[in-house]
Amino acid sequence: MNSDHHITGNLINAYYICHRKLWLFSHQINPPVDNFYLDIGRLIGEESYSRSKKEIQAGNLKIDMIENENGKLIIAEIKKSSKGQKPARMQLAFYLYQLKKQRLNLSGELLIPRERKRIKVELTDELESELENAFESMKKIISSEQPPEPHKIGFCRNCAYREFCWI
């Protein structure tokens, strides 16, 4: 990636949901801050798991939560539903990948409090390879002068970027 477009967990998440969302987000075209669905996501993150250390910023990583489970650190990503499980899993794998490059081999958990789900995520060779392929694809999308054309998918209905595609 060139220096103008640093990969973040949110960009990874966007890539696995919608390439147009990735392009818009990477070009600092942000959705309205008063979006109902963004507010719900923030509220769930703030209200859930009150005993744990939350929102840790480390370089281009913004980790939702760190837990200590029997002396072992586990990083966690909190999501409002399991609908976007693959993008959330890849976002968490990205954090694990970046931490591994810093010689921190940690485990992860995807937390969905409203569904009472805890999904373990371990960084495997396959996940690393998938991420590295995604980086190359993301680079092409982000460096395009125009965003990709919109395509209706299941995420469009509740997407904060919906007005950039369908209104």
Half-sphere exposure of 147 (CA within 13 A, CB side): 19
- Answer whether residue 101 is part of any domain: yes
Which pLDDT belongs to residue 24?
94
Range(s) of the domain holding residue 153: 9-166
- Answer whether residue 162 is part of any domain: yes
Which pLDDT belongs to residue 159?
85
pLDDT higher than threshold 90 for residue 8: yes
pLDDT higher than threshold 80 for residue 36: no
C-alpha dihedral sign at 160, 163, 165, 167: positive
- Answer whether residue 90 is part of any domain: yes
Mean pLDDT for 20-46 is: 72
CB contact at 8 A, 19 and 138 = no
* Confidence band, pLDDT 50/70/90 cuts, at residue 1: very low
Q: What is the tally of structural domains in the chain?
A: 1
User: CB atoms < 10 A from the CB of 67, how many?
Assistant: 16
- Answer whether residue 1 is part of any domain: no
Mean pLDDT, the chain, rounded, equals 85
CB contact at 8 A, 109 and 76 = yes
Which pLDDT belongs to residue 5?
46
- Answer whether residue 3 is part of any domain: no
Tens digits of per-residue pLDDT, 73-116?
899 998 988 888 999 999 999 999 999 999 999 999 999 988 99
- Answer whether residue 75 is part of any domain: yes
Tokens of 104: 């921190």
pLDDT higher than threshold 80 for residue 46: no
Rounded CA gap, 126 and 141, in Å?
A: 23
Which pLDDT belongs to residue 44?
53
* CATH code of 154's domain: 3.90.320.10
Tens digits of per-residue pLDDT, 119-132?
999 999 999 999 99
Rounded CA gap, 117 and 110, in Å?
A: 8
- Answer whether residue 17 is part of any domain: yes
Tokens of 157: 């209905």
Mean pLDDT for 46-63 is: 69
CA-nearest of 111, 105, 130, 98 to 45 is 111
- What angle, 0 to 180 degrees and rounded to 10, lies between the N-to-C axes of helices 9-17 and 125-143? 80
* Confidence band, pLDDT 50/70/90 cuts, at residue 52: low
Helix (H) or strand (E) holding 133: helix 125-143
- Answer whether residue 2 is part of any domain: no
